[in-house]
Each structure stands twice: as C-alpha cells, then as structure tokens.
Structure 1
Amino acid sequence: MNNLKENDFVRLYTFIQNNYGINLSKKKQLIEGRLNSTIFAMGFTDFSEYVDFILTKSTKQDIDLLLNKLTTNYTYFMREKAHFDYFSQNILPHLVNTKKDKVLSVWSAGCSTGQEPYTLSILMKEFLGKDAPRWDTRVLATDISQKVLLQAQNGVYPQDSFKDMPSEWIRKYFNRVDNTDQYEVTSALKSNVIFKPFNLMDPIQFKIPFDVIFCRNVMIYFNQQTKDALVDRFYDSTNHGGHLIIGLSETINKSNARYKYVMPAVYRKI
C-alpha cells in the first residue's frame, strides 16, 4: 500500500476544500485507502505524482472520479421519512393555497443518484391529484458529480431501494426491468425532474427563488465556515415563507442563521 505523505495530504485536502467545500482534513487514512488502487490504475507510481496531476492537469472527469471515491453516495427512497411527511402534510397544503402562479419551485441540492427528487415529484403529484397537470411541479436536482447525475437520469434502481415506499407508488411510477429486481422510473416522472451539475461552492443564480430547498446529508462534509456561507446563499435563494430541509444528523449555526427553526432539520424563511 502506498503511503500518503503529509505535504501531499495537505495539498490534496486543501485543494478539495477550497474548490468543493468538502473537509477531509482529518481523513488521511480514508484517502489512502480509497485512492491507492486508483493512482496505480491511472499509471502513477505514488501519491505525490497523483496530487501534482490533480492540482495542475486534471479534467472534470478526473475530479469526478476523485470526489466519488472520497464521498459516500448512499441513499434510498423515502430516506428520513419525517421530512417527506412534513413536506406533504404542512408545506404543500400551504403552497397550494397561496401560490397564484401555480409554480412549486423545489430544489434537491446534492441529489446523489436521484431518489430524493423523484420522491418529491411523486409527493407533489399525489397531493395535487387531478389538478397536477395545471401546476408546474418540476424539481431541480443538482449534484457536483456527473457520475451520479447520469445514474439519476437513467432512473433504474434495485428493489431494495424501495423498502419504505408504498407498493401502489411503485406500480404507478416505476416499470420493472424485464424479469430482474430492477425498476425504472416512468418517462412521465423522469420528465418532471431537471438534473443539472452544480457545485454548492458557486454563487446560486437560478432564474427564480425556491419554495423549498432540500440539502440533506451534504453539509456533513463541510466545515463550519463553509456551511454558514452556504446556508446564507440558500437563504437569499429562498422565497419568503420558504423552507430549508437538511439531514437529521446535520445542524446549522442558529446563532447567526437567518432561517427560523421549525423542527429538527427543518428551517423557514420568515
């Protein structure tokens, strides 16, 4: 096993944190373990050569590979169900009663392989019922990784991804792939989610502000300064009365955050 020298470790984690917000300053062992096979497969003899390459010559595909190796894209449908219940039972009724333009602007930030934005789309369609065609319920789904975005756009998932999803929703919004245990999102549901690459370190300059921003289990990789700055950008991109929903294992700095705390991991712009 190739050892990661301290100066190369510092160069690599500093580059990743400055450009992508991900704090790996205490993850030297993880980096060594997850990248050893990668550097040899790419033809490098040691970490020093690889770090030089990443810092000076790497392509977007090289960075994508690096970030995918060092972060975990584990998710499934209806993960942290309490958030989806709150979205359906509290947020959607308020929005439908107050939105005159019939546009529900929802952003899944750090969408990973797509289970979250597809779930949000299903929840809106189920809530609106026959009125759904009269509303714009398209979900914006972004991630820094092209790899996971391609998986999300493909929309094919193993059966165990649906352990917490009602069976009637599976029948309604997914098609079984031949005789396998894989299920594909229907074309109608796919068309209701817009996937885009986006780095959460960048300025947020989408056309309209959002009624709801889901950014769950993403900020666990960020240091406090990066999290505070991101939450500020989210706030400025949220409609008045809109919500930010983060992961249950995450917190935001309540002492300087402008959002109002609603319940664990749920915040509102008042």
Structure 2
Amino acid sequence: MTTLARPSTSDGDLPLTEADFARIARIAKAGWGLSLESAKRPLIRSRLGRRVKALGLGSFDAYCDVVESGEAQESDHFVTALTTNVTHFYREAHHFEMLESQILPPILQAARQGKRVRLWSAGCSSGQEAYSLAGSILALAPDAAKLDLRILGTDIDPTVLQIAQDGVYDPKICLFPTPALEERVFGRAPPTGGLRAVRPELKALVTFRRLNLVKPWPISGRFDVIFCRNVVIYFDKPTQRQLWARFAEVLHPGAWLLIGHSERIADPQELGLDPAGITTYRHAGAPSGKAPS
C-alpha cells in the first residue's frame, strides 16, 4: 500500500496546469489509447483531484508519478476517472430490432446445426448491453444453453466489470424501452433487498473479462456479432481506424459489427466491411453459417 504525505492544498483549489494536463493526456494515450480534449480539463481536474486528495498528494504532477510507477490499483482509479460509463438495457433499440429480425435467426439456425457462435460486447461497461444480447437470444432460442453459443463482455474498468459479473442492479438505473424487455432480463420477481438480479439463464450465456482494446487481445476464434458502441469516441481518428480494422480481422465472413449512434467508419470497404444499416456493418464475403461437415 502506498503511504503518502498530507497535502497542503485541497482538491477544490488544486491547480491543473497546462503541463499537468499534457502529462495526464500522454499517460492516457500511451496506456489506454484515450484522447483527452482540452475542453475536458474541468472534468479531469475534478475527478482526478479527488484521487490527489485521497492519496495525500500536493499536485497533479505528483499524482502522475504514482500512476506511472505502475501501481495497478491507482491505474484502475485513473482510467475509471477518465471514462464515463453511461448505458442502459436495450440502448439504441433499432440495433436490437435488427438483431432479432435479421441477424440472429440464421446464426441460431447454424448453431442448432453444430456451429460455434460467439458474440462480443466490447466496452460492455456494467453489463447492460451483454445481458440485453442474452435476452434477445433467449427470446428467439430458449434452448440457447444447449448450443455452442456464448457472449463475451469486455471492458477496461474493473469497477464496472464487477457490477456486470454480479448482475445485480439498482432499479434506478434499470432503464428499458418497454416493460416486456425488462421482464426478459429480470423476470417477474420483485426486487430483492431493493435490487434487481439478472435471470440466471442470461448470466449463464455471458462471460466477462477485462480487456484493453488498444493492447494485444488474448482472444482465439472469430465472432459472429460484435457490438462496440460509444467506445471509440474516446480515441483519436488513427486509433479508431486501427480498432475498426482489428474488429474486421476477428469477424467471420458475413458477420456483423454494430457501432454507436455518433460513430462512423470512413471507407469501410477498405477494411472489408459493407454498410448494412444504421451504424451497422457486415464483413464482406459469404456468411460462414453452415454447420461443419
């Protein structure tokens, strides 16, 4: 555990200099690919200022020394402070409508014929997107647990990943487009102890792992569907382009990539992706939906 001196300055009047901001931005870019705009300085000063105070430090420069020392726990706090985890169940409902009407039916048919099927919620935050995917699958295929079908949820923030793994939520953040979708995820049981617990059938389909998207991916096999929505907004344009290309490399021919409402892929055909709907792309080539012979 790090032991540090008490500051003579509170986080309320702690200055964030140009040099401090530049150093924080360099650390964020080198470690996590995050691109920090100068407009975010007040937010960064407020959030990281709390960490400076909690550690008993007197400056942001000293705080950067701690982060760059490699202390894992503080690195976790650092990335948590710099990212915003705002999500809800069945967010951007048009994607889930397309998923259930067009994307999943042939995938599920192939799974019933023995095909390995994998979906990835990249930047899953506290798990709502991954559990929404599971809810859609079970609505179409109640026998999904018997198939070689799994959902991977990944995020860089260990705090939100723990919430995702627990699958237990405060009702105040359980936002759904319709009551029917809410019942898919939580069933009809009333909250226990004031909290809502995801149905066990959904949890059984999902595995959560910590993953830094700009570092090597310890992933084997390809995916049939990737949701990466409202994640690349944290990256600069070159990093975004590299990430889109890496997603394309791990998609099966004919597989799907769905991105956030404010995101676009420039020249997707150069990456082997074809536009297929609102912020939806499909890997070029024939679908690999047939069962293995």
The normalised TM-score by structure 2 is: 0.85
CA offset digits 1:67-93 (Å, max 9, x no partner): 111211011111111111111111001
Which residue does 2:8 correspond to in 1?
Answer: none
Letter in 2 for 1:107: W
Instruction: Identify the range of structure 1 (117-126 vs 250-259) with the bigger mean alpha-carbon deviation.
Output: 250-259
1:224-252 Cα offsets, whole Å, 9 max, x none, are: 00000111111110000001111011112
Which AA in structure 2 matches 1:69? A
Q: What's the offset of the Cα at 1:18?
A: 1.7
* Structure 2 letter corresponding to 1:86: M
> In the alignment, which residue of structure 1 is the partner of 2:271?
257
> Out of 127, 150, 169, which is 1:138 matched to?
150
| CA apart distance, 1:223 | 0.4
Structure 1 CA distance, aligned partners of 2:192 and 2:161?
24
Q: Deviations over 1:15-61 (max 9, x none)?
A: 11122111014232321122112201111011111112211x24222
Q: CA RMSD in A?
A: 1.8
CA distance in 2, matches of 1:260, 1:6: 42
Partner of 1:167: 179
Measure the CA separation in 1 of the matches of 2:193 and 2:154.
31
Task: Write the distance in 2 (CA, Å) between the matches of 1:247 and 1:214.
Answer: 9
Amino acid at match of 2:82: L
Aligned residue identity for 1:80 = E
Which structure has the larger Rg?
Answer: 2
Partners of 1:83 and 1:13 in 2: CA distance: 33
What is the aligned-residue identity percentage? 35
1:221-260 to 2 correspondence within 5 Å? 221-254=234-267, 256-260=270-274
Provide TM-score, normalisation by structure 1: 0.92
Indicate conservation of the 8 Å contact 2:254/2:282, yes or no.
yes
1:61 matched residue in structure 2: 73
Greater shift, 150-159 or 106-115, is seen at: 150-159
Q: Secondary structure at the match of 2:148?
A: coil
Q: Which moved more, 1:91-100 or 1:240-249?
A: 91-100
Contact kept? 1:20, 1:199, Cα under 8 Å: yes
1:150-165 matches, cutoff 5 A: 150-165=162-177
User: Cα distance, 1:169 vs. partner?
Assistant: 4.9
Number of aligned residue pairs: 267
The aligned residue for residue 208 of structure 1 is 221
Between the aligned partners of 1:257 and 1:11, the Cα distance in structure 2 is 33
Residue type of the alignment partner of 2:159:
K
Cα deviation per residue 1:149-205 (whole Å; 9 max; x = unaligned)?
00111111222434425434544542444352x211133322221000000012234
**Superimposed CA distance per residue, residues 80-138 of structure 1 (whole angstroms, 9 cap, x where no aligned partner):** 11111111111001213345424321000000000000110111111113x32432332
Q: Which runs of 5+ in 1 are unaligned?
A: none
> Distance between the aligned counterparts of 1:205 and 1:58, measured in 2?
21
* SS of residue in 1 equivalent to 2:90: coil
Which residue in the other structure is 2:203 paired with? 190
**Residue 67 to residue 176, structure 1, CA distance change in 2 (3 Å):** farther
SS of structure 2 residue aligned to 1:260 = strand
- Extract unaligned runs of 5+ from structure 2: 1-12, 285-293
Q: Distance in 2 between matches of 1:244 and 1:237?
A: 10
Closer, same or farther in 2 for the Cα pair 1:83/1:168, shift >3 Å?
closer
Q: Which amino acid aligns with 1:268?
A: R
Is residue 32 from structure 1 mapped to residue 48 from structure 2 by the alignment? no
1:115 alignment partner, one of 103, 117, 128: 128
Q: State the match for 1:50 in structure 2.
A: 63
